[in-house]
Amino acid sequence: MNIAIITACPSGVANSILAAGLLEQAVAKLGWNAKIEC
């Protein structure tokens, strides 16, 4: 499965980057392909 994910945090960039990292791990476990943008 191919998906696109966009993360955004109104209080700063750090939370978006952390969320993107966790989403990358979850996508890898599922065997999906994802393009993640912060």
DSSP labels, 3-38: EEEE---TT-HHHHHHHHHHHHHHHHHHT-EEEEE-
Which among 10, 3, 12 has a CA at the least distance from the CA of 23? 3
Which among 33, 30, 36, 38 has a CA at the least distance from the CA of 8? 38
- Residues 1-38 have pLDDT tens digits of 999 999 888 887 788 889 999 999 999 999 999 999 98
Specify the pLDDT at position 22.
95
